[in-house]
Amino acid sequence: MTDLKNDRFLRALLKQPVDVTPVWMMRQAGRYLPEYRASRAKAGDFMSLCKNAEFACEVTMQPLDRFPQLDAAILFSDILTIPDAMGQGLYFETGEGPRFKKVVSTLADIEALPIPDPQKDLGYVMNAVSTIRKELNGRVPLIGFSGSPWTLATYMVEGGSSKDFRKTKAMLYDTPQAMHLLLDKLAQSVTSYLNGQILAGAQAVQIFDTWGGNLSSAAYQEFSLAYMRKIVSGLIREHEGRKVPVILFTKNGGLWLESIADAGADALGLDWTCDLGEARRRVGHKVALQGNMDPTVLYANPEAIRTEVKRILASYGKGSGHVFNLGHGITPEVKPEHAGAFISAVHEFSGQYHQE
Ligand code: CP3
C-alpha cells in the first residue's frame, strides 16, 4: 500500500531532489472535463458525486487518465462538507454556487454548533479517501484538503458566496469574541477532519484559505493565520512510514509570506500576483512553494501557455522545492487540450533545473 510509483510531488514538498518539477492543478476534476459533466449527470448533482465513494473515486481519476503526467490526485469533495456536518444544510443552486439553509448570525447560533466527528458525520469523505487510495494503487500520491476556519466562517455567516463579506466582517469587528469562538470550533473540526483523511490514506493535505487575503493585515494574523497555525500543530505529520506534508494556500496572501512561512507547514501555495522567484528568496529557505500560473493563461493558445510555463520555471530557478500548479482553480470554460499543454510543458521544460 505504501509503495509509490511516482513520489516526486511529496519529494518536492520536502525539498528533496526530483528529476522534473511535479505538477497538478487545483480543481483538476471539474466542469471543464466532458467526462466530469457526464458523471455529474449520472449522479444527479454535485453533492451526490461527493457523497458516493464510487462516484467521488471515478471523477478523481478522470484528470489522471486524461493527463498521465499529473503527479498528484486530489480527493474529490468540497470545503463546505464541514459546515454541512455542523447542521447548516448545504445545497447547490445550479449556476448560483453554494447555499446554506441555516445561517450563523448570533453568539447563540455559534454556541449551538457541534464539532463534527469525522467517522460518524463525515464518514462518506473518509470512505472516498480509502476508495481512491485503493484505486490509485500507488500511481501518484493522494492529497486531502479542507477550507481554513476563516474561509469556512465566511460561507457560514453569509449563507453562501459573497462579494464583500459584510456580515462576516461586521461580526468580526462588532463581536470579536463570537468570531473567535466560531473560528476555534472550526479549527478543532478541521484538525480532526484532516487527521481522519490522513488515517484513511491522504498522503499530503492542503488548507484552502481562499478568502484570507480579503482581511486587513492585522485581522489576517488574528482571525485566519492564528487558526491555521493551530491546525498545523495538531496534524498527524507522519503516517505509513512517510512524512505527510502540509500546504497552506492563502489566496492574495503575498504580502504576508514571511509570517505564513512561520506557521509550521511544509509548503505555501501562491496565487499569480506573487513573483515566484521573489517568493523563493523571501521564504524558500523555510518552505517549499506551490503555484503559480494565472489560471486564465489557459484561455490563451498552447504556445502562449508553454511560454508562461517556461517563464515561471526560470523564475523559480534551479533545485527542488517547487510544485507547479495554477494560482487558483481551473475554470469551467478552459479547453481540456489547453490544460494538457500546460501539464506536459512542466515536465518537458523543467529537467534542466534539476541537474547537478
Ligand atoms: O481540486 C479538486 O479537483 C478537488 C475538488 C474541489 C472542489 N471544491 C470541487 C468542486 C476542491 C478542492 C474544492 C474547494 C473549494 N470549494 C473551495 C476552495 C478552493 C478555491 O477554489 O478557492 C471553495 C471556496 C469551495 C466552495 C465552492 N464549491 C464553491 C464557491 C462552489 C461553486 C463555484 C463553482 O465553481 O461552481 C463549489 C462547487 C464545486 N466544488 C464544484 C466542484 C467541481 C462545481 C460543482 C459543479 O459540478 O457544478
Closest atom of ligand 1 to CA, residue 30: 43
Rounded Cα–Cα distance for residues 219 and 207 (Å): 18
Q: Is residue 305 part of a domain?
A: no
Atom 3 in ligand 1: residue holding the nearest Cα? 27
- 320-356: per-residue pLDDT in tens? 999 999 999 999 999 999 999 999 999 999 999 999 7
Q: Is residue 62 part of a domain?
A: yes
Q: Is residue 149 part of a domain?
A: yes
Q: Is residue 239 part of a domain?
A: yes
Q: Is residue 4 part of a domain?
A: no
Is the per-residue pLDDT at 163 higher than 60?
A: yes
Is the per-residue pLDDT at 1 higher than 50?
A: no
The helix or strand, by DSSP H or E, that contains position 178, with its residue range, turns out to be helix 176-200
Number of domains the chain contains: 1
Catalytic: 45?
no
Q: Could you tell me the three cell numbers for 166? A: 459584510
Q: Who has greater pLDDT, 144 or 1?
A: 144
User: Please, what is the average pLDDT of the chain?
Assistant: 97
Q: Of how many residues is the chain composed?
A: 356
Catalytic: 31?
yes
Residue range 2-10: mean pLDDT, rounded: 92
The answer to whether the CB of 224 falls within 8 A of the CB of 209 is yes
Rounded Cα–Cα distance for residues 43 and 355 (Å): 46
Residue range 156-170: mean pLDDT, rounded: 97
- 211-254: per-residue pLDDT in tens? 999 999 999 999 999 999 999 999 999 999 999 999 999 999 99
- 42-71: per-residue pLDDT in tens? 999 999 999 999 999 999 999 999 999 999
Q: Which residue among 55, 61, 77, 78 has the greatest number of ligand 1 atoms within 8 angstroms of its CB, and so is best to mutate? A: 78
Q: Can you say whether the dihedral through the CA atoms of 255, 236, 71, 299 is positive or negative? A: negative
- 203-221: per-residue pLDDT in tens? 999 999 999 999 999 999 9
Is the per-residue pLDDT at 2 higher than 80?
A: no
Q: Could you tell me the three cell numbers for 315? A: 523564475
pTM: 0.97
Mode of pairing for the β-strands spanning 97-100 and 90-93 = antiparallel
Centroid of ligand 1 to alpha carbon of 27 (angstroms): 7
- 268-316: per-residue pLDDT in tens? 999 999 999 999 999 999 999 999 999 999 999 999 999 999 999 999 9
Q: Name every protein residue with a CB atom under 6 angstroms from any ligand 1 atom.
A: 26-31, 40, 46, 74, 76, 78-80, 97-98, 145, 161, 208, 210, 329
**69: Cβ contacts below 8 Å, ≥ 6 apart:** 23, 343, 344, 346, 347
Q: Is residue 320 part of a domain?
A: no
Q: Could you tell me the three cell numbers for 281? A: 528568496
Catalytic: 282?
no
Centroid of ligand 1 to alpha carbon of 296 (angstroms): 17
pLDDT of residue 94: 75
We report the CATH number of the domain holding residue 156 as 3.20.20.210
The Cα angle at residue 203 between residues 29 and 198, in degrees rounded to 5: 100
Closest atom of ligand 1 to CA, residue 161: 30
Residue range 143-166: mean pLDDT, rounded: 97
Is the per-residue pLDDT at 32 higher than 80?
A: yes
User: Virtual CA dihedral for 219, 220, 222, 226, nearest 10 degrees?
Assistant: 170
Q: Is residue 314 part of a domain?
A: no
Q: Could you tell me the three cell numbers for 199? A: 488515517
Q: Is residue 351 part of a domain?
A: no
**Is 253 annotated in some ligand binding site?**
no
pLDDT of residue 126: 98
Q: Which of 71, 78, 209, 271 is catalytic?
A: 78
Domain range enclosing 90: 28-287
Residue range 142-150: mean pLDDT, rounded: 98
